[in-house]
Amino acid sequence: MPQPHFIVVTYPAQGHINPTLQFAKHLIRLGVRVTYITSISASRRMTKVPTAEGLSFLPFSDGYDYGIKPGDDTDHYLSEFKRRGKDAISEYITSSENEGKPITCIVYSLCLHWAAEVARKHHIPSALLWIQPATVFDIYYFYFNGYESAIKAQADETNPKCSIKLPGLPPLFPRDLPSFVIASNVYQSALSLFQEQMDVLAEEPNAKILINTFDALEHEALNAIEKFKTVGIGPLVPSSFFNSKDALDNSLRVDLFQSDSKDYIQWLDSKPKSAVVYVSFGSIAALKKQQVEEIARALISSRRPFLWVMRNRKDRGEEEKEEDKLTCREELEQIGMVVPWCSQVEVLSHPSLGCFVTHCGWNSTLESLVAGVPMVAFPQWTDQGTSAKLIEDVWGTGVRVSTNEEGMVERDEIVRCLDVVMGDDEKGMEVKKNVEKWKGLAREAAMEGGSMDMNLKAFVDDVSQGYCK
């Protein structure tokens, strides 16, 4: 049988690139040749372009080679990304065919359902790589398949204690639902992308849905939809979390943001075991000035050493204004360290880490689980409220902050949550026990012969033998 040749196509954002590169790494290990396709804007921002035997990196121009800027028309950008992306993939399929290296399968990540249309046009199997929780996939599926009115009624319900029960999922309150669903009138264009994705999958006679989760973590959610077979092929995290010296892993690790230095590692080295609070809200979320101040005051009140990733506004194409600066910066830095970016793998793996104050992005959530770090769940939007629900109520690996009537998380609430996960009372000990449990299960899933390994092999065999048509 000829060597399988997969195209992996991804959206040019940090949270999409990291798991899809990890996925490509595992494909290469299984003997698959991978062509990784994303836009030039992503490759320009990469600290290093990924290189590995068995991997070809193919950036294309989406018309925004220096990235989308504040004020740009998002709908136009997505339209151009789709149009030019479809052309780039089609041209590559044709040239590969002419060179005697035909494409076996196209795997595409979130928001790129149009890649399946390209695959169908060329009579090539395709698969969706879902980079959010299986629970979130299920919520979107049920929303577009019979539960829209029930979910909307809940969203309009003034009582936040009113819950909805969807098949195979725990009871969900309004704050547990993806923001695109709960505020569908605000996020109509985003919601339509998910509807188009579900429509594309519905047209596939044997839809392949690969999810960055693992069987033990979301067993019920992976089996909640009768129409689709969803397969857990995670956790798609760097091998560094498993104390593995993995040359392939190092060559495929990518950052779209720059860190000025590695001084924070030396600083972490100087701190006691499980003492440091790590605060990071990922690559997209932009907190309001008042919320940043509340976090800062909470950290000062808590008196625990902390490492806080506070991204520069210039990373978002914005100017740094005097009024945006923290009023307590000097006092803050007497207790902890503020950096514009860092290697999250290194930080979460460090023995001095005591907890992670996180926006609950799915990559961060999985990395925290694998590293065995308790979480203070501080969700902002999209799928993060659902992840926070899972963290607190289903896995018990952390606690979730509560907001006031204005949607702000006050300093006393942040301190309360820190005290719970960093403390030694009954609740704190229960969280630490659960963290160790899930750390072990995540590592079992990622081992040779684990659920990730078995499910990925089955997928590659299935596609390579032509069953997915």
DSSP tally for the chain: helices H, then strands E: 19, 13
pLDDT at residue 52 in the model? 81
Based on the residue annotation, tell me whether 16 is a catalytic residue of this protein: yes
Q: Which of 16, 26, 113, 350 is catalytic?
A: 16
Question: Which of the 8 DSSP states describes residue 315?
Answer: G
Cβ atoms within 10 A of the Cβ of 380, count?
A: 18
Q: What is the phi/psi pair of residue 170, to 5°? A: -70, 165
Instruction: Extract the tokens encoding 395.
Output: 């896995």
Residue of 359, 315, 312, 314 lying closest to 340 (CA atoms): 312
Q: How far is CA 98 from CA 53, 54, 58, 351, 380, in A?
A: 22, 19, 17, 53, 47
pLDDT at 374: 98
What is the rounded distance in angstroms from the CA atom of residue 268 to the CA atom of residue 6?
Answer: 40
- Rounded to whole angstroms, the Cα distance separating 62 from 86 reads 10
pLDDT for the residue numbered 45: 82
The amino acid at residue 221 is A
Angle at 21 between CA 35 and CA 398, to 5 degrees: 160
pLDDT for res 46:
79
Q: Max Cα separation, the chain?
A: 66
| Number of neighbouring beta carbons within 10 Å of residue 393 | 14
Block residue for tokens 């006031």: 404
Q: How far apart are CA 372 and CA 242, in angstroms?
A: 11
Q: From CA 428, how far away is CA 421, in angstroms rounded?
A: 5
Q: Can you tell me the distance from the alpha carbon of 315 to that of 256, in angstroms, rounded to the nearest whole number?
A: 10
C-alpha closest to that of 389 among 174, 235, 199: 174
Measured distance CA(383)–CA(179) in Å, rounded: 7
pLDDT mean by block of 10 residues, the chain; 469 residues? 92 92 93 96 80 89 90 92 97 95 96 96 97 98 94 71 90 93 84 95 94 98 95 93 68 60 89 97 83 95 95 58 71 92 91 97 96 97 96 98 94 98 95 98 94 96 72
Q: Which domains does the chain have, with CATH numbers?
A: 5-139+144-153+161-251+445-464 (3.40.50.2000), 263-444 (3.40.50.2000)
For position 434, what pLDDT does the model report?
98
Q: What is the pLDDT at residue 213?
A: 98
β-bridge partners, 59: 38
Residue written as tokens 């992996």? 8
How far is C-alpha 333 from the geometric centre of its chain's CA atoms?
29
Q: How many CA atoms lie within 13 A of 415 on its CB side?
A: 13
- Cα angle: 412, vertex 418, 421; to 5 degrees: 140
End-to-end alpha carbon distance in the chain: 18
